[in-house]
């Protein structure tokens, strides 16, 4: 079974045109196809490009980080947190899928309310992308399930 490694530059903006993230200052982002390493809506688009292609695409939230889920806003006992807990801090909390980051929304004497939604949940995201390299994944990368550095050398 062969799989490909795609490398691309991107600039991510929200629906107001504000830049949220970009690879332009550093190396392109690489991913192994079919592994869910990037958001599904973007992977769909990138798999159809060839090297040199540029594209501006808006990914709806359901193919990006999903909808915001009210159940992920949870009250937790105050004693689970250090005295220095403050609104806006991020803590790892235990969820079904393992530890997830959650931001503190509110604090009172007994309860700390945290939000474990992804910061970009519920948002449509616009990506300006440029495909820079497509190559066949090495056996080692397939075995590991991730991309190794430029040219496939081991880390
Ligand atoms: Zn590895």
Q: What is the mean pLDDT of each run of 10 residues along the chain (155 residues)?
A: 94 95 95 95 98 98 95 94 95 85 96 94 97 95 89 56
Q: How far is the CA of 39 from the centre of ligand 1 (A)?
A: 21
Task: Please check whether residue 81 is in contact with residue 115, taking contact to mean a CB–CB distance below 8 angstroms.
Answer: no
Please state the three-class secondary structure of 87-152 as a single string.
CCCEEEEEECCEEEEEEEEEECCCEEEEECCCCCCCCCEEEEEEEEEEEECCHHHHHHCCCCCHHH
Supply the pLDDT for residue 61.
96
Residue 154 φ/ψ, nearest 5 degrees: -75, 150
Supply the pLDDT for residue 84.
95
Q: How far is the CA of 98 from the centre of ligand 1 (A)?
A: 22
Q: How far is the CA of 68 from the centre of ligand 1 (A)?
A: 33
Q: How far is the CA of 100 from the centre of ligand 1 (A)?
A: 23
Provide CB contacts within 8 A for 33, sequence distance 6+. Answer: 3, 4, 5, 6, 43, 47
Q: How far is the CA of 38 from the centre of ligand 1 (A)?
A: 18
Supply the pLDDT for residue 1.
73
17: alpha, beta or left, given left = phi > 0 and alpha = psi -120 to 50? Answer: left
Burial class (CB within 10 angstroms; exposed 0-12, middle 13-18, buried 19+) of 53: middle
Task: Please check whether residue 147 is in contact with residue 5, taking contact to mean a CB–CB distance below 8 angstroms.
Answer: yes
Q: Rounded distance, CA 13 to CA 81, Å?
A: 34
Q: How far is the CA of 138 from the centre of ligand 1 (A)?
A: 10
Supply the pLDDT for residue 154.
59
Q: How far is the CA of 155 from the centre of ligand 1 (A)?
A: 6
């Amino acid at each position: 079974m062969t799989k490909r490694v795609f490398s691309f530059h991107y600039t991510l903006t929200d629906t107001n045109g504000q830049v949220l993230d970009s690879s332009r200052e550093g190396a392109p982002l690489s991913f192994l196809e079919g592994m869910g390493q990037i958001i599904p809506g973007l992977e769909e688009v990138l798999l159809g490009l060839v090297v040199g292609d540029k594209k501006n695409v808006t990914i709806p939230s359901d193919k990006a980080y999903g909808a915001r889920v009210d159940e992920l806003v949870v009250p937790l006992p105050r004693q689970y947190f250090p005295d220095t807990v403050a609104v806006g801090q991020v803590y790892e909390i235990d969820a079904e899928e393992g530890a997830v980051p959650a931001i503190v929304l509110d604090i009172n004497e007994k309860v700390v309310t945290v939000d474990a939604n992804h910061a970009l949940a519920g948002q449509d995201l616009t990506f300006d992308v440029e495909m820079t390299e497509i190559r066949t994944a090495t056996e080692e990368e397939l075995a590991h399930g991730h991309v190794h550095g430029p040219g496939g050398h081991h880390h």
